[in-house]
Amino acid sequence: MREPSLPDVKIRCKVDRSVWNDLRAQASESHQSVSDLLNEAIRDYVARRRVRPDVLWHLEASMREHDDLGRRLAC
């Protein structure tokens, strides 16, 4: 069964005029709406910035394993 979609959220923000003009031009060239491009850009940004839990686990394990070396290198 498909989940009901959530209502859209309206946002208000300031962007540089040149960035806005570039975004509008890209929307026009790609036959997409500015909203569609913003959704895609935000989705990509969040995906790139999110750190997966397994990556954090391996990082912490490595730091514990090499704690002594880290302390020696910090001096």
Per residue in 49-67, pLDDT (tens digit) is 887 888 888 888 998 999 8
* Stronger pLDDT, 13 or 5, i.e. the higher one: 13
Residue with tokens 């498909």: 2
**pLDDT, tens only, 10-42:** 999 999 999 999 999 999 999 999 999 999 999
Cα-flanking dihedrals φ and ψ of residue 52, to 5°? Answer: -70, 145
Which two tokens mark 39? 């959704």
pTM of the predicted structure, to 2 decimals: 0.60
Q: Are 33 and 27 in contact (CB under 8 A)?
A: yes
Domain boundaries, the chain: 17-74
The torsion of the CA quartet 18, 37, 6, 46, rounded to 10 degrees, works out to: -80
Question: Residues 34, 23: contact at Cβ < 8 Å?
Answer: yes
